[in-house]
Structure 1
Amino acid sequence: MKVLVLLSVFWLPGILGQISNKKFPESFQFGAATAAYQIEGAWDEDGKGESMWDRFIHEDPDRVKDRQNADIACDSYHKWREDIELLKELGVTLYRFSVSWPRILPNGTPNKINQAGIDHYKTFIKALKEAGIEPIVTLYHWDLPQHLLELGGWLNEQIADYFGEYARIAFKNFGDDVKIWATINEPKSTCLIGYGAGDSPPGLKLVADGVYQCAKVQLLAHAKAYHIYDDEFRAQQGGRISLVLDTTYNEPASDSDADKFGAELETEFNLGWYANPVYIGDWPELMKTRIANRSRQEGYSFSRLPEFTAEQLKYVNGTFDYFGLNMYTGLTAQYTGEFDIGEPNYYLDKGTSTSHGADWTPSTVSWLYSYPVGMRKLLNLVWNKYNPGTIYVTENGWASDGSLNDQGRIDYLQAYLSNLLDAILEDGVNVAGYTTWSLMDNFEWTEGYTQKFGIIHVDFDSPNRTRTFKESGRWYQKVVATRCLIDSCDE
């Protein structure tokens, strides 16, 4: 508690800056976000198959900081009615959640369709619509069916075809009620953490090449789902579909040309890596050039960054109806010069080093530093570089210790939303909606239950998984009702 109070004082006024006294446009939609694996529980009930996360954690509980798992999590598979009541109480009109691939297709293939899983999501989605809440449905939020992992996972280009089959079944069953789809959530995190660092499933350390192949396959999978929707369902269902990308805002560590170049490299090797093929047409030129040059020096006759064929480039390019953006913080970036040629490595390919700015505000977890003006800068970057037409901020949030008195989270959300509002009103960026991460405390992957992102507290020691509004939840409720970030706004 003392830490959060001290942070709140430390933030004002320099770090937070001036909070906007303008109102959000009437068309702007507020919401909250979750993901199936992190909240549903019921990991093996009603015909659900095993996901790679189920296997990864069950095999070795020490892979999770508190040795816990998501077998029950928030028990939202059973408590979904209560979750909808919480959303109604918040007053939000958007709810971003994911569908569990193995709950619909137990082994990931269309050979066996689990009707109980389909019926569950149909009922849930219809209840959301009846409550006046628009669903944003993510098809893949990291829970790959274990069977498909054993076929090679995101290193096997055929997984894109399996993803297309899954997407078609989802569109067919839910598309009459779902008008905003997200194909794949944070592919960069899937690839770098699971196939590079080895800290998430499949636990591989292929930081020289696997991370790049993983990226290519996920982009092909996204494009497959997009084209299936575009060709077979759009005319009748009239929805929108894109993917969700995560990034920091990368501020040059100084005004030097070298550090400006370092910030550009950091952005291209993170955001551009996935956004450029979809919104522009190929890997970023800086990535292609640098990885090809380093590959040659390392003894390769080809680049470790796999090329798209001409047909694949055409297939991936333009597969968007909006830009889904996850943003939590910022970094300062420096150009380090060329690292010595040695063991091939994505991080050496970048040629950058990053850190948090000296004046940025730390959270109660070491990785998260607040840089709210980065939200405005990042929205402008995405808007001007990628011309997406519409942006949804699909994740943004603050980790704390789970206390109900979470002033630090309020300060964080207020500052980021203020910069988002400035981007809309002052810069003309079309941000259509915002879904904060997260509706409730949940299973935070290998951090287990040690990090709490919810604006609603969940008692994981209670069999009932009791939900209780935090102060941030009540604050957000007021913002949604008044469309105002402070007590009184200019009309």
Structure 2
Amino acid sequence: MSKTKITFPKDFWWGSAWSAEQAEGRGETGKAETIWERWYKEEPYRFYKGISSEVATDHIHRYKDDVQLMKQTGHNSFRVSISWARMFPNDGVGQVNPKAIEFYRDLFTEMNNNGIKVFANLYHFDMPAALQDLGGWESREVVDAYVNYADTCFKEFGDLVYNWFTFNEPLGPILGTYLEGFHYPNLIDFKRGAQATFFTVLAHARAIQAFKKYNYDSKIGTILNLSPTFPRSQNPADVKAAEIADLFYTRSFLDPMVKGVFPAKLVALLKEYDQMPVDFNQDDLAIIKDNTCQILGLNYYEPRRVKARLTAINPDGPFLPEWFFENYTMPGRRMNEYRGWEIYEKGIHDLCMDIKDNYGNIEAFISENGMGVADEERFMDENGQVIDDYRIEFIQDHLAYLWKAIQDGCNIKGYHLWTFIDCWSWINSYKNRYGLVSLDLKTQKRTIKKSGEFYKKLSEDNGFSYDVDKLI
């Protein structure tokens, strides 16, 4: 087996990502209650082993040491999220919190001083609970509050941030809240979800509109979780099922946030089934049209495989996208058994080619990709280091297809792994570990995994040796 040195473009962004709610811990700065903190109070039994986000990775107290770990694992960039609840501890509105400004300015300065570009994300699932009470993303009042929060962040941190992002995975709260029941308050109502989707897109566009007045050198965009959709077969029924699934799960946010318009076929479908949002107007649509992404983050974990429905829908049940397709389990697929996700490295190439061919080859980067594994203590050596060769192989195989996408003309500027240090993961808490650095929950001790050492060398060499003949 002969290997070729794969080299990435000059100044490629090597790094990782996490969010405020998953890493910071509550701290002493003052912070409004988030929907996750409220949900934990109401239903702690839904959280793996009863672990909340109260402490998480305690990044708020350990950020200087963590920045040094970023350097030691090869980071030249890192995506954080800013906590809306910390910035505005009075229920997400009112006076800005000077202690929050001090914390984030100190963190971003520390990162910049150590050669790590700040990628700042404004919203990562952590709605202040009081704003959820007002309707969350179904409410224009909440949109206004978000734009005020975003504008405050641009003003306070604009001199320190390299790239800005309005949302991480905006589809997630829609699925979790309105369709699948894994985000508080678990409403299960598609039409309300359609309204929340529209106002999320409007909030994104209005934040970009506010950003433009500052004339920063930085760019602003969004981060979407995207899976290429594959039909079971080329039978017309399967192809149609895949097209509809793709409209709901991929084009619903991608088209308006990048192109400025919602997909006509999706709009027609929602009209046919009386699932259109109620509150929108031409001024809203004009704002969305005129304020689109300057950069796009792509979160890729697994493909989506679907087939035509073979079973009837209960017409008395709630309207859901699955009315039009069924998920398809492909025989022989490789799986991450811990997360229940298919491992399909070529999907990252397919995703990038879609962006190149259908979205103007917008400047983009892989903003999340990673492998969660349970009970990683099994793989510790006598020195307490996790020997995670499986994660190194996962990264290399995906990067090889990303390199191929760049060779094929895709405008890809970087790769961020999920995640840096093992962090708290929503309902799953610390069940699956994703980090380049392991975390001892009892002591908060951080230990660089073998993958963290690999990642440093990867960054230093701006590539690695790989058998490119394996690529298809």
**Global fold match (TM > 0.5):** yes
Q: Tell me how many residue pairs correspond in the alignment.
A: 458
Given the alignment, which residue of 253, 263, 286 partners 1:314? 286
CA drift at 1:413 = 1.1
Structure 1's 50 and 143: CA in aligned 2 closer, same or farther, altered over 3 A? same
Residue 297 of structure 2 aligns with an amino acid whose one-letter code is G
Q: CA RMSD in A?
A: 2.2
Residue 226 of structure 1 aligns with an amino acid whose one-letter code is I
Residue 458 in structure 1 maps to residue 439 in structure 2: yes
Deviations 1:336-371 (A, max 9, x none): 27846443412245x112234323211132421101
Deviations 1:364-406 (A, max 9, x none): 3242110100000011112211125201211111111234122
**1:34–1:97 CA contact under 8 A, matched in 2:** yes
Residue 431 in structure 1 maps to residue 431 in structure 2: no
CA drift at 1:247 = 1.8
Measure, in 2, the Cα distance between the counterparts of 1:432 and 1:147.
38
Deviations 1:62-98 (A, max 9, x none): 1212211110011000010111001111222110010
Q: 1:99-114 alignment to 2 at 5 Å?
A: 99-114=82-97
**2:86–2:100 CA contact under 8 A, matched in 1:** yes
Residue 35 in structure 1 maps to residue 22 in structure 2: no
**2:35–2:127 CA contact under 8 A, matched in 1:** yes
5+ residue gaps in structure 1? 1-12, 296-302
Structure 1's 409 and 467: CA in aligned 2 closer, same or farther, altered over 3 A? same
Residue 251 of structure 2 aligns with an amino acid whose one-letter code is G
CA drift at 1:271 = 1.3
Residue 227 of structure 1 aligns with an amino acid whose one-letter code is Q
**2:74–2:455 CA contact under 8 A, matched in 1:** no
CA drift at 1:61 = 0.8
Given the alignment, which residue of 210, 232, 236 partners 1:253? 232
Q: 1:261-272 alignment to 2 at 5 Å?
A: 261-272=240-251
Structure 1's 422 and 276: CA in aligned 2 closer, same or farther, altered over 3 A? same
- The residue number in structure 2 matching 1:470 is 449
Residue 270 of structure 2 aligns with an amino acid whose one-letter code is I
Given the alignment, which residue of 316, 320, 341 partners 1:346? 320
Does the residue aligned with 1:201 lie in a helix, a strand or coil? Answer: coil
- The residue number in structure 2 matching 1:25 is 9
Does the residue aligned with 1:31 lie in a helix, a strand or coil? Answer: strand
5+ residue gaps in structure 2? 378-385
Deviations 1:144-187 (A, max 9, x none): 11221111111112211100100111011100111200011111
Select between 116-125 and 254-263 the one with higher mean Cα deviation.
Answer: 254-263
Given the alignment, which residue of 389, 394, 408 partners 2:390? 408
CA drift at 1:459 = 0.6
Structure 1's 487 and 320: CA in aligned 2 closer, same or farther, altered over 3 A? closer
**1:279–1:388 CA contact under 8 A, matched in 2:** no
CA drift at 1:419 = 0.7
TM-score, normalised on structure 1? 0.89
- The residue number in structure 1 matching 2:380 is none
State the percentage of identical aligned residues: 27
Given the alignment, which residue of 459, 462, 471 partners 1:483? 462
**1:107–1:148 CA contact under 8 A, matched in 2:** no
- The residue number in structure 2 matching 1:184 is 167
CA drift at 1:307 = 7.2
Given the alignment, which residue of 147, 156, 181 partners 1:173? 156
**1:19–1:418 CA contact under 8 A, matched in 2:** no
Given the alignment, which residue of 291, 294, 297 partners 2:273? 294
Measure, in 2, the Cα distance between the counterparts of 1:378 and 1:268.
15
Structure 1's 339 and 386: CA in aligned 2 closer, same or farther, altered over 3 A? farther
**2:3–2:467 CA contact under 8 A, matched in 1:** no
Given the alignment, which residue of 350, 374, 379 partners 1:377? 350
Measure, in 1, the Cα distance between the counterparts of 2:279 and 2:267.
9
Measure, in 1, the Cα distance between the counterparts of 2:151 and 2:128.
17
**1:96–1:136 CA contact under 8 A, matched in 2:** yes
Structure 1 ranges of 4+ moved more than 6 A: none
Structure 1's 356 and 76: CA in aligned 2 closer, same or farther, altered over 3 A? farther
Given the alignment, which residue of 298, 301, 307 partners 1:325? 298
Deviations 1:423-474 (A, max 9, x none): 001x100101111100111111001111111111111122xx1111112112
Structure 1's 108 and 175: CA in aligned 2 closer, same or farther, altered over 3 A? farther
**2:241–2:306 CA contact under 8 A, matched in 1:** yes
